[in-house]
Structure 1
């Protein structure tokens, strides 16, 4: 690895030939290193990444992996992945060569996270592990890593929480009465509870998305806020684009809310607030009403549980919630059908 010193500036530089991903030979020159060892290290890292060698450091590999992710993921998805990796993965594996990370390393890393004083939830631990496993799968597929050590040692955490929190209709009525003094909150939480839509879908809505005569709302987009910028993006999945029928009283709530808006254009966001506002109002309403605190997303679960209690089929619920397939609905809400087997047996007995 030849390096050179610029006698005029006193800084070191490296100059070398490499083969790019198209097979062409090119020359690379990098200047401005205070120390010779820094120039040598830059050349080593560059050639390691360019040659797709698995003996590169995990941190170097992650630069390649994240660049690929950034080109393919939604900004909000990428931001979440980046935060998780920087917080829970790079500090542990960053300085290790990619091909020297073993199942034992992964197991020790899992133990550290499981016993962390932060007491991460089982579902969050599962999410972190899945991210790491995806990283090594990528290395196996595109960089010829022999095996995935994360798969070899087994997962941690759980896919689903042990219990799902949701409000009953009586709890929701207590809550909505407590936030009724703010028209925006009253309209938002009513819409979330009676439609089952995601909060990002709700925050992206315009008045033009509603047909208040037909009592429907068209869900075609999703809202997120990233780096102090409002983003309107495609929905979570293709099936998330849907038309949801609302109870007529919900159309009345939207009409009343819209008449209170000043200088509003029908293509503007109907609810010009953020998820931070939703969380703050959720806490206020729970404290004032005395109902248990749940997540904003749990209002969606509350809607689904209400539909199940009313006897609607999983197929209809799946379509209404915009799930990609009915399996998602069944996996998420199967535990809310505690007495269905007894009903089947009773029906069969009556026929007998």
Structure 2
């Protein structure tokens, strides 16, 4: 096979997005590729096709399997976080490839998409997981449609999976107080759970927190990075809103000072080959703490110390507990949204909408008590 020597990347002035496109000659036929956001992306795609042609590895779109296409699509997404890429790879390997992998990309239809959803649901996965896997396939097919590899995205022809919002289990103030007072010296990872309930930070953000991210004098934590789950890879945060500053109380500062002293004692232990990573939460050797060990410690503390009347909650539910307590105390939703690092205040209100009826009732009672009309 041979490609045309014309390397011109063309621009579609009428396209609202992804305006760049190009053509190459394959077996005497002019092949068009559209839907590139920048001229650089178009050049890279064209160069990749020419390289494949020169090696005899080029597969025409009508003969390419969805599995081959998906792997190419994912490898070309340079701007996604490492953790996101690993998540997509896991979705593909476990759920997508067994159902769609061998089907020609050009033959993917609505029935195939319905079979994919049915296959995922048979594994009794939650609504959120079904929606995420479907959205990943949908995104890959949208890209294929933009590039004229397929005429239509079959995922747009079926009813998309939805998530039935469930009320998250959270602890009340009394449970939080009783539990954290009782467990303070039970695990080296107690500090991680404490920070989760007191700051609303995500687990990966807590495990990536450095002492240099904390200003004890000003009483603030700078949230700047994330630890990839069960790995020792630190990444930047996905959105600008996730990069945030969280105010902390004097009690939190005191607890952090205690933790720093513990870390220093371990660092000075001659029997331990300590690796100083400046981490607030770490292993006894100073290395990053894995999510698995932190979650195991959290479950063990609950089994031993959780009040019988309180629900069993996940580590992530500590973040929800933080938000629900603040909202019930009358903290403005915008402040709560900023502490959580939500992209919009709307997301915060939607997530905790189940609290609003009670809050409205409390507000009405408070208003009546304040005005105090007597008839």
Pairwise TM-score range, normalised by the shorter structure: 0.7 to 0.9
Q: CA deviation at 1:151?
A: 1.7
Q: 2-side partners of 1:137 and 1:258: how far apart?
A: 49
TM-score for the superposition, normalised by structure 1: 0.80
Give the SS at the match of 1:269: coil
Which stretch of the first structure deviates more once superposed, 79-88 or 121-130?
A: 121-130
Q: CA deviation at 1:181?
A: 2.2
From the superposition, tell whether residues 341 and 181 of structure 1 become closer, same or farther in structure 2 (CA, over 3 Å): closer
Question: Residue 110 of structure 2 contacts residue 158 of structure 2 at CA under 8 Å; is this kept in 1?
Answer: yes
From the superposition, tell whether residues 209 and 155 of structure 1 become closer, same or farther in structure 2 (CA, over 3 Å): same
TM-score for the superposition, normalised by structure 2: 0.75
Q: Tell me the equivalent position of 1:256.
A: 258
Q: CA deviation at 1:351?
A: 12
Q: CA deviation at 1:144?
A: 4.1
1:74 is the counterpart of 2:81: yes
From the superposition, tell whether residues 61 and 28 of structure 1 become closer, same or farther in structure 2 (CA, over 3 Å): closer
Q: 2-side partners of 1:171 and 1:324: how far apart?
A: 30
Q: Tell me the equivalent position of 2:294.
A: 278
Q: CA deviation at 1:23?
A: 10
Give the SS at the match of 1:76: helix
Matches within 5 A, 1:90-105: 90-105=97-112
Q: CA deviation at 1:26?
A: 6.8
Question: Residue 259 of structure 2 contacts residue 280 of structure 2 at CA under 8 Å; is this kept in 1?
Answer: no
Q: Which string of whole-angstrom CA distances, capped at 9 and with x for unpartnered residues, describes residues 108-152 of structure 1?
A: 2222322x1x31111111111111211211111123422221121
Aligned Cα RMSD in Å? Answer: 3.0
Q: Tell me the equivalent position of 2:133.
A: 128
1:241 to 243, 250, 270: 243
Q: CA deviation at 1:216?
A: 1.7
From the superposition, tell whether residues 27 and 186 of structure 1 become closer, same or farther in structure 2 (CA, over 3 Å): closer
From the superposition, tell whether residues 313 and 289 of structure 1 become closer, same or farther in structure 2 (CA, over 3 Å): same
Q: Tell me the equivalent position of 1:141.
A: 146
Q: Which string of whole-angstrom CA distances, capped at 9 and with x for unpartnered residues, describes residues 253-291 of structure 1?
A: 111111122327986112112211211111101100234
Q: Tell me the equivalent position of 1:36.
A: none
Q: 2-side partners of 1:248 and 1:300: how far apart?
A: 20
Number of paired residues? 315
Q: Which string of whole-angstrom CA distances, capped at 9 and with x for unpartnered residues, describes residues 215-248 of structure 1?
A: 221112212256xx51122123112222211121
From the superposition, tell whether residues 24 and 219 of structure 1 become closer, same or farther in structure 2 (CA, over 3 Å): closer
From the superposition, tell whether residues 24 and 276 of structure 1 become closer, same or farther in structure 2 (CA, over 3 Å): closer
